[in-house]
Amino acid sequence: MMIVMKPDADEEQIRHVVERLESVGAKGHVSPGAFVTIIGAIGDREQIASLPLDAMSGVDKILPILKPYKLASRETHPDDTIISTDGRKLGGSNFALVAGPCSVESEDQYLRAARQARDAGASMLRGGAYKPRTSPYSFQGLGEDGLKIMAAAREETGLPIVTELMDPRDVETVLKYADIIQIGTRNMQNFQLLSEVGKVERPVLIKRGMSATVEELLMAAEYVLKEGNSQVVLCERGIRTFETSTRFTLDISAIPVIKKLSHLPVMVDPSHAAGKRDLIRPLSLASIVAGADGLLVETHPDPEQALCDGSQSLPSDDFREYAKEVRRYVEMTGRSVS
Binding flag, residue 269, Mn ion (CB under 5 A): no
Please count the other Cβ atoms lying within 10 Å of the Cβ belonging to residue 263: 23
Q: What is the largest CA-CA distance in the chain?
A: 67
The residue among 26 and 183 lying less far from ligand PEP, judged by its C-beta, is: 183
Q: Measure Cα distances from 250 to 156, 245, 271, 320 in Å.
A: 34, 12, 10, 23
The residue among 1 and 280 lying less far from ligand PEP, judged by its C-beta, is: 280
Q: Could you tell me the smallest distance in angstroms from the CB atom of residue 133 to ligand PEP? A: 9
**Residue 316: DSSP 8-state:** H
Q: Could you tell me the smallest distance in angstroms from the CB atom of residue 103 to Mn ion? A: 7
The residues with which 97 forms a beta bridge, in sequence order, are: 295
Select the binding partner of residue 207 from Mn ion, ligand PEP, none (C-beta < 5 to 8 A, by kind).
ligand PEP
Which residues make up the interface to ligand PEP (CB under 6 A)?
102, 128, 132, 164, 184-185, 207, 237, 269, 272
Alpha-carbon distance of 338 to 327, in angstroms, equals 10
The residue among 102 and 180 lying less far from ligand PEP, judged by its C-beta, is: 102
Q: Could you tell me the smallest distance in angstroms from the CB atom of residue 190 to Mn ion? A: 18
The sign one gets for the Cα dihedral 53, 58, 60, 63 is negative
Site map (CB under 5 A) of Mn ion, residues 94-133, x = contact:
--------x-------------------------------
Residue pair 197/229 in contact (Cβ under 8 Å)? The answer is yes
Number of residues that bind Mn ion (CB under 5 A): 2
Q: Could you tell me the smallest distance in angstroms from the CB atom of residue 28 to ligand PEP? A: 34
Please count the other Cβ atoms lying within 10 Å of the Cβ belonging to residue 310: 17
Q: Could you tell me the smallest distance in angstroms from the CB atom of residue 221 to ligand PEP? A: 16
Select the binding partner of residue 185 from ligand PEP, Mn ion, none (C-beta < 5 to 8 A, by kind).
ligand PEP
Q: Could you tell me the smallest distance in angstroms from the CB atom of residue 40 to ligand PEP? A: 29
Pick the piece of the chain touching Mn ion (CB under 5 A) from 21-29, 31-39, 91-99, 308-316: 308-316
Q: Helical H runs in the chain?
A: 11-23, 45-49, 107-120, 144-157, 171-175, 191-198, 214-226, 254-261, 270-274, 280-289, 316-332
